[in-house]
Every structure is written in C-alpha cells, then in structure tokens.
Amino acid sequence: MTQSTKINTLSSTCVPLNRNNVDTDQIIPARFLKGTTKSGLGKNLFYDWRYLADGQPNPEFPLNNPRYKGSILVAAHNFGCGSSREHAPWALKDYGFSVILAISFADIFRNNALKNQLLPIPLPEAVLMNLLAAIEQDPSLTVAVDLPNQTVNIPGQPLQRFEVDPYRKTCLMEGLDDIGYTLQHMDAIQAYEAAHA
C-alpha cells in the first residue's frame, strides 16, 4: 500500500494512558506478530493490559472504559521504547488512533510512526499531565491538532507548537508512504533513466 489516510487537521476526544515507558511489546505483544499485513492488529493492541488472564476485558484499562473514545492517545514519558518492531504503529493505526501525544517518544518508534501515517507529538510535561487530568475529569474534552500549522489546541491551555520533519509532514498530509511519495515523481525518474540509458 502506498497511500493511506491523510492527516491535516483533527479535532477529537482523547484516550488517556497515564503510563511511562510503554514499550512496543506492550503495545502489540510478540505472539501476535505472525501476520505480514497491517490489518487486524488493532484487536490485540495493549492485549496484556487490556484483557484479564481469563480473556475478559480488564475494566480498569482505559481502552475498555466507555467514557474514553477518540483518535488521539495521550501517554506520558518515553512512549514506544523497547524493540524496533514496526507492528506497534500498525496496531495503533488499525485500532483507530491517528495522533499520539506524550511527553517523549523512543526515537525508533517515532520514526516508524511517521512512516506509517501516525503522528507522534511531544508536549511539555506540565501541559501533558494537565491534559491527562482534564481528560479523566471530562472525557468529552476535545483537542484540535493542526498539522499544516504544527499546533495543538488544548482547551484551557496555551496553544502548543510542535516540530516535524518537512518530508514526513508532506507524506502525512498527502497520505503517502515512501513508495507513494517516490511514485509522484515518476515522470522525472523516467526522464532521468531515458537520458542515461
């Protein structure tokens, strides 16, 4: 697949995950990585936290709480640490998340997310912790993400600005992966090959 959902502006309620050091094996446990496609991974997202030993949903886990819905996940420090598996952003996307807000991200996860049309945005700790508290108090709170202007608008807080690599920003806004972006320049590629045949 070379084209996916575009991310430009997004207004959504949020799902709070107030945990530090959420590693990729918790995001999608290794035993669920037998497939080679991106689809279907969402049902096993956070499986070991989301389900009890008997397979029943854990009522204490935010994804099982009917109060929390939305396409924005809000976490804490060092989200996505651990292995470099690309299945982690695949599972988050397949579940329905488009944006992850956190205090910090593991570098490999951040890069994998950006390559898979999932936007990770770091926010200052005070802002993020206030947001988590606000969501828990009022799950209807809506956060607005504006990728073209690189801002996050959180009710009751100053407008937050974030940085994103210009190439990755273009891919996110156009819904393209690396192959899809390259194919946009096929005429120039073919002209170059013809000139150097």
Is residue 165 predicted with pLDDT exceeding 60? yes
Domain contains 3: no
Q: Is residue 162 part of a domain?
A: yes
88-102, 152-166, 176-190: the lowest-pLDDT one = 176-190
Asked if the structure places residue 98 within a domain, the reply is yes
Tally of domains within the chain: 1
Mean pLDDT across the chain: 90
% the chain with pLDDT above 90:
76
Query: Where do we find the tokens 């030993």?
Result: 53
Residue 161 lies in a domain: yes
d(CA 77, CA 82): 13
Asked which of 52-61, 79-88, 141-150 is least confident by mean pLDDT, the reply is 79-88
Residue for token digits 């084209």?
A: 3
**Rounded (10°) angle between helices 107-115 and 87-95:** 50
What does the alpha-carbon distance between residue 160 and residue 158 come to, in Å, rounded to a whole number? 6
C-alpha to C-alpha distance for 32 and 51, rounded to whole angstroms: 14
Is 4 among the domain residues?
no
To the nearest 10°, report the CA torsion of 170, 173, 175, 180: -20
Q: Is residue 122 part of a domain?
A: yes
Residues 145 and 119: beta-carbon distance below 8 Å = yes
User: How many Å apart are CA 87 and CA 121, to the nearest integer?
Assistant: 19
Q: Residue 107 corresponds to which tokens in the numbers above? A: 């570098």
| Structural domain contains residue 92 | yes
Which domain range does residue 166 map to? 9-195
CATH number for the domain that contains residue 165: 3.20.19.10
**What's the rounded Cα separation, in Å, for the pair 190 and 134?**
53
**pTM (2 decimals)?**
0.89
Residue 2 lies in a domain: no
Task: Name residue 30's amino acid.
Answer: A
DSSP state of 115: H
